[in-house]
């Protein structure tokens, strides 16, 4: 007898709903300048129901990032799912047009189809090193895209519950060598807050101690987008 597969779990698109008309207290921090001002944009209250988005992030099967991409600096697990994220794209585009208009909003700006990507990190994943034996390697400053790379934006949305929040994301002086970076700004981990920044800004996970995520995970949605032909 052939065993029939069970029905798939049905995801209600309402899980990813965003109130685009909501007044948000957006914080913009300038930390330097190369060809354009380098900015950190923090957008609170992204999803209407971030608890359900958090649950979605935890239900997606994930693989340790280094197994997906040998050159990855991400110190945890990655999970991806193809979903319609039009509301999120509209919010991102609105924020970048308002606060990063000198390198965003050109002729190639259009709706992007990017996967719903999760980043799951805890202490065990951070100390798991399969390339250089350095347990702190993946949380040291790094670039997602080397300069010059105008219009290439990285973003994350914190999905942790309030009592799971530790640290955040740290940003460093772009003019020094990576091994001697000066800390310029820390974006605090706040539930349901999105952080947008240029991929060429040196950054890292903010880690007060190796025990920060021993009992909890750092749960985030991550994405990389560009304002030009990719």
DSSP run (H or E) holding 168: strand 168-172
pLDDT value of residue 87:
94
pLDDT tens-digit profile of 1-49? 788 878 878 889 899 999 999 999 999 999 999 999 999 999 999 999 9
Neighbours of 101 (CB within 10 A): 11
88: number of CA atoms within 13 Å, CB side? 30
Q: Is the pLDDT of residue 63 over 80?
A: yes
| SS3 of residue 79 by DSSP | strand
| SS3 of residue 173 by DSSP | coil
Max Cα-Cα span within the chain: 67
Structure-token pair, residue 6: 């069970």
Return the closest-CA partner of residue 42 out of 196, 215, 213, 228: 196
Strand locations in 82-167 (E): 116-121, 152-158
Mean pLDDT of the chain: 87
């Amino acid at each position: 007898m052939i065993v029939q597969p069970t029905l798939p779990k049905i995801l209600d698109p309402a899980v990813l709903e965003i109130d685009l008309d909501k007044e948000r207290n957006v914080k913009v921090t300038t930390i330097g300048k190369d060809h354009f001002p380098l900015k950190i944009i923090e957008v609170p209250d992204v999803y209407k129901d971030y608890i359900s988005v958090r649950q979605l992030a935890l239900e997606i099967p994930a693989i340790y990032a280094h197994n997906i991409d040998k050159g990855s600096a991400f110190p945890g697990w990655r999970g991806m799912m193809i979903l319609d994220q039009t509301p999120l794209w509209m919010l991102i585009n609105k924020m970048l047009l308002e606060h990063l208009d000198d390198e965003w909003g050109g002729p190639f700006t259009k709706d992007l189809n990017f996967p719903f990507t999760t980043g799951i990190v805890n202490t065990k994943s951070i100390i798991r090193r399969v390339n250089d034996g350095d347990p702190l390697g993946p949380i040291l400053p790094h670039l997602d895209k080397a300069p010059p790379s105008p219009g290439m934006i990285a973003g994350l949305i914190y999905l942790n519950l309030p009592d799971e929040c530790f640290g955040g994301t740290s940003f460093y002086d772009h003019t020094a060598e990576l091994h001697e970076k000066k800390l310029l700004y820390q974006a605090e981990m706040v539930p349901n807050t999105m952080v947008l920044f240029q991929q060429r800004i040196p950054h890292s996970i903010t880690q007060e101690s190796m025990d920060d995520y021993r009992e909890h995970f750092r749960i985030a949605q991550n994405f990389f987008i560009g304002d030009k032909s990719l």
